Copies of this chain bind each other. A is one copy, B any other.
Amino acid sequence: MPSDVTIDELRQRLREISDLSAAASVLHWDQTTAMPTGGAVSRSRQLALLGRLSHERATDPELGVLLDRLMPYAESLPSGHDDRALIEVAQRDFDLAMRVPAEFSERAAGHMSKTYAAWLTARPHDDFVAVQELLETTLELSREYCEFFPDSDHIADPLIDAADQGMTVARIRPVFAELRTGLISLLDHISNSKQVDDEPLRNHFPAAQQARFSTAVIQAMGYDFDRGRLDPTAHPFMTRFAHGDVRITTRTNESFLGEHVFVTIHEAGHALYEQGTRADDDGTPLGSGTSSGMHESQSRLWENIVARSPEFWSYWYPKLQEEFPKQLQNVSLQEFYNAINRVQPSLIRTDADEVTYNLHVMLRFELELDLLEGNISIAELPNTWHERYRDDLGVSAANDRDGVLQDVHWYAGFIGGAFQGYTLGNIIGAQLFEAALHDTPEIYAQIARGEYQPLHDWLRTNIYRIGRRRTPDQLIADVTGSPLDAKPLLNRLQTKFSKIYPE
């Protein structure tokens, strides 16, 4: 059994990897919130260097030797011991990093940044042809990545596993299929009901007042501004530099009230997860969210389950009216609640309501699989996109800008593994919230009083503080006693929307 010095050596090595990634995250945050245009070229170079240094350390053969030496020690410890968890998670990260040759990663990164630059121009010009060949190479690269994992059942599994450990096509497909059937039937019911409108949300709502309101909300949720900050960006995100510095960004639409506050709460949900990890896990791989889907479960839980509930607004709506007395004086709580929950099939995923959102996501997930499996070609992608939108959502874009060019994901990364996390997040969020309600039945009554600490504490204890000690599957099972299951989400949406759309 190795001496303490060796586990310290592991911690030291992991902290260096973590600190280099954090430094890169600071540079990226600065790039989107502060950097003048003239800084772009040097910033890419600086980020590439930090990425390379961090990757070199993550694949340092000496790290492998150290882990080999520590493994007998890990196995001598009871399952769940912190040292054991640390060694096992570090081993997984090391194995994953070692599977993919540095030459490939650099080649792929170079291609992605070229493709991203092309997409930035192609999208506003509605010019799919300009990126088609690049996207063909992306598809080849995505297949090449998967070939580094020849033991996978489905070609897409390695890309899915990289984001959502343990998830596979075989496991996801039936769960998504059940959800899809349920959602399409719910959407059918809603289409035949009396429609609600979101006119109350359309007016002029000055950015400063929206920001003041959102800040009060996320502070009440428990977002700690001593360990974070909120800034405007074009594309909102959450980023962690350390346990003590977890930042979020948001965007504001001054002519539509139904956006900024939910985007901000969404990102704050991600941030609560990172701020709620254990301080002594900082700088180790244990101290962060355990997967894309699990992270999204937290952002969606706060955004949708909490902040689109009638209880939430029974507390906050009077305060929102104080902020916008002229715009909201003649809007009742019920009208406001209906407006923020209006269901309307549309073209753009990120603007979608709770019911149609997952249809957008699952459509992309299936397209990824079809592309990887070779069922459709990149050339066929734009039309297939439009067809499936007609089939699933009954709408179709007149162009590719709001079609296949809409999301950045395929133009900045692999095809495959990019989208399932969003719907997994909604599914898992509903499962976890059901468990929280079971343990603390008064959660909704507390939300109606603007009290979030009991829910926040429950999440901190059961999810946040676990970090990466448990895989997503283990964590779902620990907390809910069940495997991944679409029913809680479906039940929640059916109950909620049959009230908003009663006939």
Most chain B CB atoms below 10 A, which of A37, A38, A226: A38
Contacts of A38 in B (CB 8 A): 224, 226-228, 242-245
Enumerate chain B residues within 8 angstroms of A22, measured Cβ to Cβ: 42, 46
Chain A, 29-59, CB within 8 A of any chain B CB: 29-30, 34-43, 45-46, 49-50, 53
In the bound complex, residues from chain B placing their C-beta under 8 Å from that of A226 are 36-38
Residues of B contacting A353 with CB < 8 Å?
none
A34-B229, A36-B225, A227-B36 known; A243-B42 Cβ under 8 A: yes
Instruction: List residues of chain B with CB within 8 A of the CB of A43.
Output: 241-242, 245
A327–B342 Cα gap in the complex (Å)? 54
Smallest Cβ-Cβ distance to A224: which chain B residue: B38
How close is A292's CB to chain B, nearest CB, in angstroms?
24
A127 contacts which chain B residues (CB < 8 A)? none
A283 to B42, CA, bound (A): 9
Copies of this chain, how many? 2
Name the residue among A23, A30, A243, A282 with the largest chain B CB count within 10 angstroms. Answer: A23
Which residues of B lie under 8 Å from residue A19 when comparing CB positions? 42, 45-46, 49
Q: Which of A204-238 contact B (CB under 8 A)?
A: 224-229
Chain B residue with minimal CB distance to A47? Answer: B23
Is A430 interfacial (CB-CB < 8 Å)? no
A20 within 8 A of B: yes
Chain B positions within 8 Å of A40 at CB level: 244
Q: Which residues of B contact A63 (CB under 8 A)?
A: none
Query: Which size class do A's interface residues fall under?
Result: 35 or more
A339 on the interface (CB 8 Å rule)? no
Residue of B nearest to A275 (CB): B38
A228 — nearest CB in chain B belongs to which residue? Answer: B36
Contacts of A283 in B (CB 8 A): 42, 45
Least CB distance from A70 to B in Å reads: 23
Q: Mark A245-276, 1 if CB is under 8 A from B, else 0.
A: 10000000000000000000000000000000
Q: Closest residue of chain B to A225, judged by CB?
A: B36
Cβ-based interface call for A184 (8 A):
no
Measured CB to CB, the closest approach of chain B to A250, in angstroms, equals: 16
B residues in contact with A23, CB < 8 Å: 23, 27, 46, 49-50
**Contact of A278 with B by CB under 8 A:** no
Q: Are B242 and A42 in contact (CB under 8 A)?
A: yes
Contact between A241 and B26, CB atoms less than 8 A apart: no
Check: A15 CB closer than 8 A to any chain B CB. Answer: yes
Q: Which of A1-35 contact B (CB under 8 A)?
A: 15-16, 19-20, 22-23, 26-27, 29-30, 34-35
Complex formed: what's the CA distance from A130 to B25 in Å?
38
Top 10 nearest A-B pairs by Cβ distance? A38-B244, A42-B242, A39-B245, A38-B227, A19-B46, A19-B49, A39-B244, A38-B226, A23-B46, A37-B226
> A residues engaging B (CB < 8 A)?
15-16, 19-20, 22-23, 26-27, 29-30, 34-43, 45-46, 49-50, 53, 224-229, 241-245, 282-283
